Chain A
Amino acid sequence: MKKLLCLSLVLACSVAFAQNQDEEDKKDWGTLTGGFESIFQWYNDDTGLGKFAEDEHVRSNNYLKLDYNYGNWFAGIQVESYAPMPLLNYSPKLDDTGIAQYYAMYKTKKLEVTAGYFYEQFGSGLILRGWENRPLGINNSFRGGRIKYEPSNSLSFTALYARQRDGFEVSEGEIFGFNSEIDLTNVFKLEASSLSAGFSYVGRKEDIPEQVQNTGFDEMTNAFSARLDYSGNSFYSGIEYIIKSKDAVVNTQRYIENFVEPGNGFLINFGYFQKGLGVDVTLRRLENMSFFSEREASGNVFNENIMNYLPGLTKQHDYLLTNIYVYQAQPTISVPDPSLLKYGEIGGQVDVFYNFKKGTPLGGRYGTKIALNAAYWAGLRGDFNFTDRKADIDYFGFGEKYFSEFSLEVRKKWNRKWQSIFYYVNQYYNERYIVDKLGVVNSNIGVVESTYRINSRQSVRAELQHLWTQDDNGSWAGATLEFNVTPRLSFYVNDIYNYGNDVEDEQIHFYNAGGSYARGATRFAINYGRQRGGLICVGGVCRFVPQSTGLTVNITTAF
């Protein structure tokens, strides 16, 4: 701990030093920039939810990132401290304080060379993505070397060799990657549109355990991806195809004996737009496409060692009750028993955005904006032979229905003071297949949100939500009230209440109250209340959190 304090002092001084030098001008010492984030949580015993049964009532996650730049040279570190323990349900590997990441980079217009930790994404991430998301506890960055070379404006190449970050260590597998992006616009002499292609290779090499050797797969698993994207004046389209070589099937961190399968993925996207109207269609098929830097990480609940990015392609909601039954992509083969066979997923979604113009009957004085989304996802249809360990999977067959959703959002400004959002969602959620619970959930959700501007600085926002269902835990009601004292300072209270729960003791109010203050690049937020247990999802990736009650303080700043 003392080390940490010294380190922060030294770093902080160097910030001040660099800045002073900056002000003195003339001599260029380079620039030092950075960011700091701290989330501090005090969990208390709550008669409604029961005693807090874990160790350490007081916990915190702290991140300090520093970047230094001098001419073409860049270097940086990220110090992380989880003290005395990380927040609830973050990976137990995050149990330390220290330098979690570091890098050095040399960059010119055409060439970029990086050593140390880096983030990377090939194409849409279907084949490779290293990223960070602190609220989800994800940091899948890579440690190794990377070279990017752009010989011309229309060509770009990336090559990398790395191992993936895993807590404060790196995981077992070695990762080899190559990516190319080719802009074909000039080749085809396109004037009002653009065309580009991309090819990627990712290899993962990991030793095979003694007991599963010689069953028909190699240490090295190879994946190839090809993409083509077209973008015109009012129409665009994209297609991506990816294959992964034969590899052992691993479920819930165990090898399935003698079960070896290849994988593939297929993504099509197209859309049309003009002023006031936009339509987008996305279709995807994934078969055995989960890809981990360590085979036995398959099915881990902390989203660790995931090399590619396979988000659930559904609308990302921003309200408390619309985020209870969230679809997660089902790319994995899993065969726990004959009544629950999964090979992957197939489905798609459609989005329509439309603006009723000002002055029309439906548009009124300020116009009316609507957004519509429909999504449908099913499992791949197939057969599994338990004796031969062989899966027979249809290419375009729709199997068990996993999820469907329809949502409509209407935004309306009534006058200078009032504006509202109306939101309706209808969901079908197959709990058996998505989260391995029994049953399905059919639900309808309605949200009304209104904002009233008291004057040019102050406003009040209110939200009413309701989720109707006979299934699972029954219906919920919710409300939020927010008072914005100035555009910088705001307070809120909210509550969601599971009044429809059959078990009377579980008809719980999850209430919260808090406030935030933001100035420049600094934000301070404080909150007290109850966290609903379940999935917390950001960007189609979810993390399970147990329910808890407590005080949260969050500080973020950039300098």
Chain B
Amino acid sequence: MKPIMSFVAVFLLFTIQAAAQKEIPNIEVKNLDGTSLDMNQITQEKGVKILSFWATWCVPCINELDAINEVYEDWQDETNVELIAIATDDARTKKRIKPLINGKGWEYKILLDENQDLQRALNITTIPHVIVIKDGKIVFRHTGYFPGAEDQLYDAVKKNTK
């Protein structure tokens, strides 16, 4: 057991020292109409954006996106932030995406990461996971959702739009 623990310890020690991943990898994702899109097309745009990794079957993800949806207009008016909800649903559940977002009346841009290539490249193991990018660079990340996390997220957005 000891070697494993030291393996873990050594690694955590160094990763805490090392600065976090700053770039969004240029992975191909899909629009809802099935056309493909490189992440560069998003990261090359100026401004602050929220990338939210979710799935139709993930209850906390939907709670988070529902909570943000209620204040999204205010957020956009104040900071011009754009939320891009990246669905990690695979073939089993991806067909639920379109009816679900319409049923809920979400105004987000929706992308599809069907075989989780982008999720994997960003080393996201659990969802919901939000990433705030400014001019294409990662400035904030958070895993999991509990009520109130959307306020923290918005603080991060405001800090970076000043």
Contact = CB atoms under 8 A, between A and B. Distances in A.
The reply to whether chain A is a binding partner of chain B is: yes
Contacts of B4: 40, 60, 62, 81, 83
A33 B147 CA distance: 30
A249 B20 CA distance: 50
B148 to A, nearest CB: 5
Contacts, number: 242
A34 interface: yes
Contact of B146 (A2, A229, A276, A459): A459
B92 A312 contact: yes
Contacts of A65: 120, 123
A421 B57 CA distance: 14
A354 B35 CA distance: 27
A300 interface: no
A521 B120 contact: no
B74 interface: no
B102 A557 contact: no
A124 B116 contact: no
Interface string B106-150: 000000001111001111111001000000000011111111110
Given A33-B21, A33-B123, A119-B115, A555 B100 contact: no
Nearest to B117: A119
Interface stretch (A45-53, A128-136, A392-400): A128-136
Given A37-B125, A38-B8, A487 B15 contact: no
Chain B interface secondary structure, helix, strand, loop or mixed?
Answer: mixed
Interface string B62-81: 01001000100000000000
A58 B1 contact: yes
Contacts of B152: 487
Interface residues of B, number: 70
A40 B1 CA distance: 10
B103 A558 contact: no
B6 A5 contact: yes
A214 interface: no
Contact of B95 (A81, A269, A317, A558): A269
A8 B102 contact: no
B42 interface: no
A8 B96 contact: no
A443 interface: no
A456 B148 contact: yes
Given A121-B115, A521-B143, A4 B7 contact: yes
Interface string A1-28: 1101100110011011011001100000
Given A12-B15, A353-B104, A231 B126 contact: no
Contacts of A539: 57, 90, 92-93
A206 interface: no
Given A12-B14, A134-B125, A459-B146, A83 B95 contact: no
Interface string B31-68: 01111100000000000000000001111000100100
A408 to B, nearest CB: 13
A273 B12 contact: no
A490 interface: yes
B15 A271 contact: no
B126 A556 contact: yes
A558 B115 contact: no
Nearest to A559: B15
A306 B58 CA distance: 25
Contacts of B17: 16, 19
A185 B18 CA distance: 46
A359 interface: no
Given A36-B15, A353-B104, A487-B152, A453 B147 contact: yes
Contact of B34 (A62, A121, A196): A196
Contacts of A311: 90-92
B131 to A, nearest CB: 9
Contacts of B58: 318
A207 B135 CA distance: 54
A132 B124 CA distance: 13
A258 interface: no
Contacts of B18: 15-16, 18-19, 559
A226 B13 CA distance: 50
A520 B102 contact: no
Contacts of A31: 21-23
A487 B12 CA distance: 23
A411 interface: yes
Interface string A345-362: 000000111110000000
A318 B59 contact: yes
Interface string B82-99: 000000001111011011
B66 A22 contact: no
Contacts of B93: 316, 539
Given A2-B3, A456-B151, 13 more contacts: A31-B21, A35-B123, A40-B4, A64-B11, A65-B120, A273-B99, A273-B102, A280-B98, A318-B58, A459-B146, A521-B20, A521-B21, A523-B126
Q: Which 4 A-B pairs have the closest CB atoms?
A: A353-B103, A278-B99, A35-B123, A311-B92
20 contacts: A8-B11, A16-B17, A19-B19, A31-B21, A62-B7, A83-B1, A119-B120, A278-B100, A315-B57, A318-B57, A354-B103, A459-B146, A487-B151, A487-B152, A488-B142, A518-B143, A518-B144, A520-B140, A521-B143, A558-B125
